[in-house]
Structure 1
């Protein structure tokens, strides 16, 4: 295999991996790793002539192509920040392959392939947990565009999908190698049988789960409003905010009636931050207008997002994200509010913040970063946040409030469900991604959360896709891109806990444990 052929495998591998993020079916990933596995096997076969690092460069190229093609739309917010994240993530992905390849060289092929699987899943898990999260390229997540084959995610979560994809690629590669090497027929038949069982059994189980799943009839009636405000040309003066209030109420009034239990508006519906001091909400002019609107209806409550702030009078209350201006110390928040006709307000502060846009990574541990922050396309400095999830408790439902990026984190949303949430409201502003794959990919995560938790979802986007999602992950009454809209529908509540809700990302945690054992085994063998 000459250099041209190796580069061709790298490029084709990166392109294949990116296809599901570009709108192709998720099952393309069942074969997407084959070019990289051929590359890895070549460098293993000719290990005397190539050092382990030779594989690293080829996989880095493939991973960079994958990152760019799958996530290019994020650069609309910050070219420098997102571009740097793509390069760094490609480096981590290639490092994982280099480590597994090195283990295969030092120990054995089976241990090398086991290492590859657990290392990839462990890296995915890290991307959900550390301070510069980049979880949008998780393998198991993209299968949401074919929800009929992933109903078993209620047991495994998305990491079950990642494991499935990796195993299918490995067994398919082994089958192709057996055919190529003209192995005995028995060995080829065995490989074929294992591959077919691995492909057909989970798919069949999922189709049966999908067709037989029945929601308990426990409906609540919801109105979802999509205001369609352009975040790139938005104004934040009083006149502009008042116009947004009028437009929101106009749209809501078109479909709200006495049977409506909730009206749901998008993330940061109101952004004139000086108006949303959390200590003075009882005299907030906008809330007074909203309260007057709700008086027309029987028992309707309202949830929407605002940019709020909280002033700290006591030094012991000040957080590491707090900022100072004219002698006033305060935190800014991306906030979800639940509001009723009696004027009672419940607040949730977004906890999973976007690195470089809503938070300074590692600022909690390295305070000097606060004063040496490079603006990567968002506000300078970190927003405040909650330390853990909390629900909004209404008369008709216990709501898991999920703000934008938080919908990506399955294990995080399960905390809301374990705390009693029987329905999920996702509020987002997908206008930042313009008319790209961004808002379509973002919708997939809400579908995943519905399957994993078996909770119905009401999703309000400023623009993009506002919709209802049932407990099987089906999207209902989806709105169009860049159009004002208000839709009315009902979803069923659910109080049952799935296996995944109770046990979380156990596949990822197990992979981390095995990864540590593999690394320790290498050290033991080296120094024994």
Structure 2
């Protein structure tokens, strides 16, 4: 019963109900842990309950990954259980052998440090960060502009420990502390929510296109020219004064060589449309691009042999095309593990053939660490935007870096059709609501199918197109150059937690040594 209640409270935030039950979701596990002694037998029993809880939590929330890559469910669940299960079991172990305060610090800092590692490691699917569970409770997390989603994780962990302490203590003061801890972030958020004002910057008109081309049966069988015709026909419905027209991830799957990008037939069609129909607009679209290396000395670790002594990288890219013929290219930097990249390529290179074909590209993709800002000249000033691609919108610090580099408006181009009509695309859309709060920028999404639409800088959802619908959505939105604390400093909570965790581990080792040496009172 305790495991079931923990799984339910852990999961509901991702099932579009509310993330607030997360504030008590770990309490059942803490109660189970408290019921066991320090014996080895009890340790392994607790490990079993912990693994079962985290396994069921993962399956209940990301089962939809099965539609695209069945192995992804098993792999993501295994990492979730091992990484966060190890943190919880370390807490269980130390709670039997040290003061409660030390064990609590190890749990909180260890968990947040593990989330930070999961965000930045080569093995990365940080969908179930605790702070992500509040993605649909934007009224309660306006303070993410200071802390990002890791602040939500801190809120969850401390709240759970306080509730647990209140349940196991006879002192009523613990209930007062728990109430205050749970209420103060909400009160702060409500103040920020109701005092929010729309940015006063220049406004631009944006049209987001949702072509709704079925990814499994049409996307890679329908000739590119026909797909371009669908997208450009939709683009023609944009206002005559549109500033930006946005098409989804890999809308152009024509394998465009970047050293002669202007010779691509698909790019030529987009360029002709801009010049003839919307000369004042910039057309931003997803594409598959290739970069040539003329010798093995120049190639990157992800490059593929061309067969004549040359090599090339394949990129999942975003193109910004304007009527003057300017074409800027952004390369997707956060790649989907097992779909677009294989971790630890130096060791696992023989297994790259098992990478799943999704998103319009297959095999190990190229990447770089350059944050491309798209620029559009308008009435004597430069408008700066960026177009993070699909999975890049899951990573708060990475996403915020575009704003730190000057982007005044953020586009997300994606293809969420791989998962079918499941919670997957809804969860992905909700993450963009957190990104809007963290950066205090408007976010415009163009999805092949899924949810395309507009999110304001408070995280409110404005006009949208839903699942399995072909069309466009247009709005006039303000630009913003505000730099929030999170934009400036990123996931500082993760970095600090890592240091505190290591220091706490050292302190625990010293504490145990002194106790065994009878230097600490029993």
Same fold (TM over 0.5): yes
Counterpart residue number, 2:374: 392
SS across alignment from 1:373: helix
Structure 2 Cα separation of the partners of residues 380 and 411 of structure 1: 27
Deviations 1:47-93 (A, max 9, x none): 35844333211100000000111111112111123312212321222
Contact (CA 8 Å) 1:403, 1:428: kept in 2 or not? Answer: yes
**Cα offset, 1:376, TM superposition:** 4.4
Map 1:168-187 to 2 at 5 A: 168-178=159-169, 183=170, 187=171
CA RMSD of aligned residues (A): 1.7
| TM-score, scaled relative to structure 2 | 0.93
Q: What does residue 348 of structure 2 align with?
A: 369
Alpha carbons of structure 1 residues 413 and 49: separation in structure 2 relative to 1, 3 Å: closer
For 2:426 and 2:273, locate their aligned partners in 1 and report how far apart those are by CA, in whole Å: 33
Number of the residue aligned with 2:13: 20
Is 1:286 the counterpart of 2:266? The answer is: yes
**Per-residue deviation, residues 200-219 of structure 1 (Å, max 9, x unmatched):** 22111111211111123321
CA distance in 2, matches of 1:48, 1:246: 68
Q: CA contact under 8 A between 1:25 and 1:145: conserved in structure 2? A: yes
Of 1, 4, 21 in structure 2, the residue corresponding to residue 11 of structure 1 is 4
Q: How far does residue 317 in structure 1 lie from its aligned partner after superposition?
A: 2.0
1:129 aligns with 2:120: yes
CA contact (8 A) 1:457 1:470 kept: yes
> Is 1:308 matched with 2:289?
yes
70, 79, 86: which one pairs with 2:61?
Answer: 70
> Contact 1:312–1:318 at 8 Å: present in 2 too?
yes
Q: Secondary structure at the match of 2:178?
A: helix
Query: So what's the TM-score if we normalise by structure 1?
Result: 0.92
Deviation of residue 153 (structure 1)? 0.7
C-alpha distance after superposition, 1:284-316 (max 9, x if no partner): 222222222112224111001011111211333
- Which of these residues, 339, 342, 356, is aligned with residue 360 of structure 1? 342
Unaligned stretches of 5+ residues in structure 2: 515-522
Name the structure 1 match of 2:518: none
Residues in 2 aligned to 1:47 and 1:370: alpha-carbon distance in whole angstroms: 43
Q: Which of 193, 208, 224 lines up with 2:176 in the alignment?
A: 193
Question: Aligned pair 1:210/2:179, yes or no?
Answer: no
Given the superposition, is the C-alpha separation of residues 374 and 16 from structure 1 closer, same or farther in structure 2, using an over 3 Å criterion?
Answer: farther
Residue of 442, 449, 466 corresponding to 2:435: 449
Of residues 19, 23, 33 in structure 2, which corresponds to 1:40?
Answer: 33
Question: Would you say the 8 A contact 1:14–1:61 is kept in 2?
Answer: no
Cα distance change, pair 285–225 in 1 and its aligned pair in 2 (3 A): same
**Structure 1 residue matching 2:59: 3-state secondary structure:** helix
The answer as to whether partners of 2:65 and 2:72 remain within 8 angstroms in 1 is no
Where 1:394 maps in the other structure, the secondary structure is strand
The yes-or-no answer on 1:326 pairing with 2:310 is no
State whether residues 311 and 330 of structure 1, in contact with CA within 8 Å, keep that contact through their aligned partners in structure 2.
Answer: yes
**CA shift at 1:255, angstroms?**
2.7
Q: Judge conservation of contact 1:30–1:169 (CA < 8 Å) in 2.
A: yes
Compute the displacement of 1:242 (Å).
0.9
Aligned to 1:487: 473
Task: State how many pairs are aligned.
Answer: 504
* Cα distance in 2, alignment partners of residues 469 and 38 from structure 1: 40
Partner of 1:466: 452
What CA distance in whole angstroms lies between the structure 2 residues aligned with 1:64 and 1:198? 29
